Structure 1
Amino acid sequence: MDTRFSNIFNLTEDQAIALLQTPLDDLEDKTDRYIAASHLVNFPSERTVNALIEAIHNPDPHLYNRITRRKAIESLGRLKANIALPVICSCLADDDIYTVENSVWAIGEIGTDDATILEEIAKLLEKPQQSYRVIIQTLANFNYLPALERIKPFIDSDNEPIASSAIAAVARFTGDYSQIDKVVAFLTHSSVNARRACIQDLIDAKYYDAIPQIARCAVSIVFRLRGIRLLADAGKEEGKLSFSQIEPFLDQVMRDHPNDLDLVHQYEEIPPTEFLIQELYNTDFGRCYLATKALIENYAETVEDEVIKSYNDEAHNDYGAHYHVIKLLGWLKSDAGYEIVVEALNNRRPQFQKSRSAAAIALANYGDKKAIPLIQEALNTKVWELKYACLMALKELGEGNLQSYLTDEDDWMVKEKGNLLA
């Protein structure tokens, strides 16, 4: 389990359990119990599991208690707490659809071969207003064939993520991939939710042929890297993919230039820099990449000061915009922004990890060999994405013998990259 982002609230196990057991009326901040339920995922103990189960049993209908129950269910799923299955299964009949959704997801994480439980999940497909996507994904992951005919109607859903999951599930159940291109087509959908969702469905379906299109999808690099990595791991294990087949697309994603993406939005006329820089804060990364492209192509000689001002004002603390600014400074070869990029390379805050890889690539774009020792130092990490980006950057800067940095490397993809660059 990736826990890089988990331990943000700095609570001990005792403190988190005490908060979770505090009555709502006694709390200064009504969200504290939710935070506690979330944070307890860091403590896989019997006490934690019992405290989370106790929280689920709390019947208070208040909104803040409902969201705490949802989070407690999620945390038990992340902890893979098998002992909690009975109480989680009882929540499948809850009136709150989000509690039901989390329960289905948690059962999927914990695992079960109990056909009675799986049938209870399948029956939710016939119940109105449910989170059908999570239900379909979970049933497919359990390979629960009795649900197939109930899943098929969702192929024609107006909700793209639901339709995508249904198409992928039917392909997995039947081995018939004739409609999987409809899932691939969602990679260029105008809805960012549809684009993100279909990547997961292509992973679940082990549809290796989609790797080139995933590399070009206008969503955050996090989604694309995860998609390619999981497909690569599965393809290697099955003997269907070699690193040489994956490498060009992985490198393309690591460089992450907007010209290498299928941009799904467009401008009727070139907007002013003020608008474009503000677009770097958009939660739809497709719009961020479009803005980046426009800045590079139209304002490369004049926009540096505005970009740095935006960084100092806001982007330094906004992990989405931070990433795009770091990449942009590298493409602009901004002298005034060089130290910002160096700082990003060494930024250990969990939410800013993708900016570290971006910074390594950005430093290579500057073309200055003085960055080599900094990038070499950044190679001392357990994060494979950062190692991979550092290897690419060092090669770009003319550094040889990259294998010497990887003598104890246990990540097959990083090792293969080092061997090829040696």
Structure 2
Amino acid sequence: MSERFDTLFSGMSEENALNLIITDPSELDNPGVKYLAASRLGACTSQQSLDRLIEVASKESDNLYERITRRKALEALGRRKQKTALPVLIDALTDQDEPTVVNAVDSIARIGAALTTTQQQQLLTALNGPDNQKRAVIQALMRLNLPDSNGVIAELRADLNPLVAGAAHAHALRLTNRDESLGPLLNQLQDTNPGRRRAAVIDLGDAQHLAALEALTRCPVSMPLRAKSAFLIAKAQSEVSRNANSKDKTSTFLETLLQDDPRTLALDPLSPISPEAQAIRDGLQHRDEARQYAAAKALCEMPAAERLALIDDLEEHQGSDYGVHYLLASCVGLLELHERSDLVRGALQETGPQYSKSRIAAAWSCLRLRLDDQRPLIKELAAEHPWEPLRWSCTRVLEKMN
């Protein structure tokens, strides 16, 4: 479970979680609280909670709830980032349950500790599994900066599954500077399949190749996912280059990405959404972010009077939808709709983790609408918010306000 959603189990005490996670599922009215308890312990810092997670992560079971709890415990160990958890994570690589192996692999990569030669070989052996497992293993090897010692990953660049091939291309880019692997990933950013686009965004972030930044600013995938990869690339480049021009160019790309204007995205593979109210409503709630962006673009192109009426209707009836909320906060600023500035103020003040991206949109909209009364809150977010893209946005907004 993402750290951004730790508030979901904030009412569960550590002591309660320690007990729930080892309680027999048959004794619980809601056995699902067991894996919630595992996530809770992942946010703790005590040795007792770490030991309990290791204990649960080491136990195999035929019971569905116990299996899911084990997966969550393996995932939580990655959050704890303690190398003492590595033995149980390595042991889990031989499990026949694919999600169990994937969670173990992800946590090994997240801990980031050096692996012994034997442990590296055990990780490589986990490539012999389903495609999702192959992808996770390649990503772990890449994030641990482990080379393709036996050429297996190189062979997977030709895999029929683009998610496997994409991870293999990213590995080649990051560890061997194989520039010819950049093209396939950039092409995949325009795939009609949203899952493949998202995978390419992740792979480009892992590859940490500067040439991918511009393409990420235009890819119709959710802004937070693109921002995560873009900041990985920016950080990697700042560590190898002190060139001022390069840093300015990188900052320009980050700013463009975070402002996220749907009118500048590469939406060509899609059929355009007509600037009609119902089509826009449907598009904004589509599961494919490209359709959401296309609907936001159509909203921007509506006649002014109809646009304002639709924004009011969307805010009233669909404003609790996180995606709609974000795009409304963005479009009001992009279109400089001063008469709807209260919508922007409200979005900036939302404290729920699910609205963090709306606060980014609102910060940029405050700049466009010249909402100087929001400067204290923007300054607070720039200094204290845990999410880097929001801190970075607020810092840049303050600079431009001045």
TM-score by length of 1: 0.86
Q: Quick one: distance in 2 between partners of 1:253 and 1:269? A: 22
Report what 2:389 is aligned to: 385
Query: 2:218 aligned with 1:216, yes or no?
Result: yes
Is 2:94–2:126's contact at 8 Å kept on the other side of the alignment? no
Report what 1:281 is aligned to: 285
Residues 146/327 of structure 1: CA separation in 2 closer, same or farther (3 Å cut): closer
Count of aligned positions: 393
Q: Quick one: distance in 1 between partners of 2:199 and 2:272? A: 28
Shift of 1:235: 0.9
Shift of 1:81: 2.6
Is 2:273–2:280's contact at 8 Å kept on the other side of the alignment? no
Shift of 1:30: 2.3
Residues 274/336 of structure 1: CA separation in 2 closer, same or farther (3 Å cut): farther
Query: 2:330 aligned with 1:327, yes or no?
Result: yes
Report what 2:7 is aligned to: 7
Q: Provide the secondary structure at the position in 2 that maps to 1:178.
A: helix
1:69-148 equivalence runs, <5 A = 69-110=70-111, 111-128=113-130, 131-145=133-147, 147-148=149-150
Q: Provide the secondary structure at the position in 1 that maps to 2:180.
A: coil
Shift of 1:262: 1.1
1:262 counterpart (249, 262, 266): 266
Report what 1:409 is aligned to: none
Is 1:148–1:173's contact at 8 Å kept on the other side of the alignment? no
Is 2:206–2:232's contact at 8 Å kept on the other side of the alignment? no
Shift of 1:31: 1.2
Is 1:218–1:264's contact at 8 Å kept on the other side of the alignment? no
Report what 2:202 is aligned to: 200
Deviations 1:17-70 (A, max 9, x none): 122122111222221111111121110221111211222244331222211111
Shift of 1:212: 0.8
1:302 counterpart (299, 302, 306): 306
Shift of 1:296: 1.2
Shift of 1:358: 0.6
Report what 2:36 is aligned to: 35
Query: 2:19 aligned with 1:23, yes or no?
Result: no
Query: 2:362 aligned with 1:340, yes or no?
Result: no
Shift of 1:206: 2.3
Report what 2:248 is aligned to: 244
Is 2:273–2:298's contact at 8 Å kept on the other side of the alignment? no
Query: 2:316 aligned with 1:312, yes or no?
Result: yes
Is 2:273–2:295's contact at 8 Å kept on the other side of the alignment? no
Letter in 2 for 1:162: V
Q: Quick one: distance in 1 between partners of 2:182 and 2:81? A: 31
Q: Quick one: distance in 1 between partners of 2:253 and 2:275? A: 31
Residues 24/378 of structure 1: CA separation in 2 closer, same or farther (3 Å cut): same
1:53-64 equivalence runs, <5 A = 53-64=54-65
Residues 394/88 of structure 1: CA separation in 2 closer, same or farther (3 Å cut): closer
Q: Provide the secondary structure at the position in 1 that maps to 2:298.
A: helix
2:151 counterpart (143, 149, 152): 149
Unaligned runs of 5+ in 1: 401-422
Letter in 1 for 2:66: N
Shift of 1:284: 2.2
Shift of 1:7: 3.4
Deviations 1:268-298 (A, max 9, x none): 6726311312321233221111111112113
Residues 347/298 of structure 1: CA separation in 2 closer, same or farther (3 Å cut): same
TM-score by length of 2: 0.90
Report what 2:363 is aligned to: 360
Shift of 1:237: 1.2
Letter in 2 for 1:131: Q
Letter in 1 for 2:350: N
Q: Quick one: distance in 2 between partners of 1:290 and 1:4? A: 27
Residues 278/148 of structure 1: CA separation in 2 closer, same or farther (3 Å cut): farther
